[in-house]
Amino acid sequence: MVNHTAIAANSTPSSGEECKAEFANSTTEKVQDGKFIWNEYEQGIILGAFFYGYVVTQIPGGRLAERVGAKWLYGVGVLVTALLTLLTPAAASWSIYAFITIRVMMGLGEGVTFPAMHAMIARWLPKDERSLLSTIIYSGGQIGTVVAMPISGLLCDSAFLGGWPAAFYVFGLVGVVWFVFWALLAYNSPQEHPRISDEERIYIETNQGEEQTREKLPIPWRAVLTSVPFWALMVTHFGQNWGFYTLLTEMPSYLKNILHFDIKKETIAQWSIVFYIAAGVYVVTGVIFVLCGSAELQPWGLYAQTCGGNFAGPLGTLGTGNLSADTPYQATHDDGTPESPKSDDAFPTEAY
């Protein structure tokens, strides 16, 4: 999409910004470059534009889901994002400002999806199954990321629909098709579903917990905003999302511009490792949760659950942080193979 050759030609040469050799691929292949001459600053604005809109609709999205129902809020949010995705190639060709505007609008539409899904889960999942099923539901976002990135690389490298626009057209069309099924099959609550059995509906309704019959109370904002555990959770969640979205938005540029790693040229066997690891993590953790987890607070486990909650979040965040910090080292160390870069000349410290 971006013409890196033109950018490099217009840039001041530097001896300490990136690896000197493309060690990931030993054969010479024709690389398709984009037509847009956007510098690093402009690319950063484009990547960040989505999140400018995304953060705006988070809290309003939760309130709207409670008032108008989660089905249409979630569905329309995805549909708007899908339609704007289809318009992205045209907007990018028009001007960078149109492209940034489209990205902001996509963020506004996507920002309501997670709050709406919270409301949907609260109405549909029995309390005894809520932890497990919600974990499975939300893991779809990470699995989709792992699957979509290599597919996007392959589409960009192909002649299908013009190359890089195909990534936007294909995934935008998938979103539109998904919305059709969502509109026909999803409902706000078991009470609204016309095809649910009475047995299943009664089971869900009687296992919702106290929140279904409890009177709506005003939110104690003062108590919430002065709660130390609340801010601890907020900081942990911020750190986790910072790491995830940094990898999601910046890692492709890091791999291409610094390591000269071409995501679309690697062999199927190499990419299979990524899929196996990602799938394995979800399967193993899911099995552990099924065997050992419980949504019920055990009489003897109040203190243990508190301690577990204190450690579970930081462990996950520290794991992501440590692995992210290790990424530059993996580009510099010499493991003895001919393709390995030498740390003293291939990746100077300025690249950090």
* CATH classification at residue 126: 1.20.1250.20
pLDDT in tens, the chain (352 residues): 665 555 555 555 444 444 554 444 444 445 455 677 788 888 888 888 999 999 899 888 988 888 888 999 999 999 999 999 999 999 999 999 999 999 999 999 999 999 999 889 988 988 888 878 888 888 888 788 778 878 888 888 888 877 889 999 999 999 999 999 999 999 998 988 999 898 888 888 888 765 544 566 777 888 888 888 778 778 877 877 777 777 777 766 776 666 666 655 555 555 555 555 555 555 565 555 555 555 555 454 444 444 444 555 555 555 555 555 555 655 555 554 445 444 444 433 333 3
The answer to whether the pTM exceeds 0.85 is no
260: left (phi over 0), alpha (psi -120 to 50) or beta: left
Other C-beta atoms closer than 10 Å to the C-beta of 12 total 4
Other C-beta atoms closer than 10 Å to the C-beta of 198 total 7
Residue 177 lies inside a defined structural domain of this protein: yes
99 neighbors 42 (Cβ within 8 angstroms): no
Residue 148 lies inside a defined structural domain of this protein: yes
Residue 225 lies inside a defined structural domain of this protein: no
Classify each residue of 290-320 as buried b or exposed e, where b means 16 or more C-beta atoms within 10 Å of its C-beta.
eeeeeeeeeeeeeeeeeeeeeeebeeebeeb
Residue 45 lies inside a defined structural domain of this protein: yes
Return the beta strands (E) in 41-125 as ranges.
Answer: none
* Residue range of the domain that includes 37: 1-13+31-193
**What is the residue-wise DSSP string for 247-316?**
HHHHHHHIIIIIS---TTTS-HHHHHHHHHHHHHHHHHHHHHHHHH--SS--TT-HHHHHHHHHHHHHHH
Residue 67 lies inside a defined structural domain of this protein: yes
Residue 315 lies inside a defined structural domain of this protein: no
Q: Say how far apart CA 2 and CA 93 lie, in whole Å.
A: 11
Using CA atoms in the order 171, 35, 5, 21, what is the torsion angle rounded to 10 degrees? 20
Other C-beta atoms closer than 10 Å to the C-beta of 156 total 19
Closest by CA to 331, choosing from 340, 321, 323, is 340
Residue 303 lies inside a defined structural domain of this protein: no
Residue 78 lies inside a defined structural domain of this protein: yes
**What is the tally of structural domains in the chain?**
1
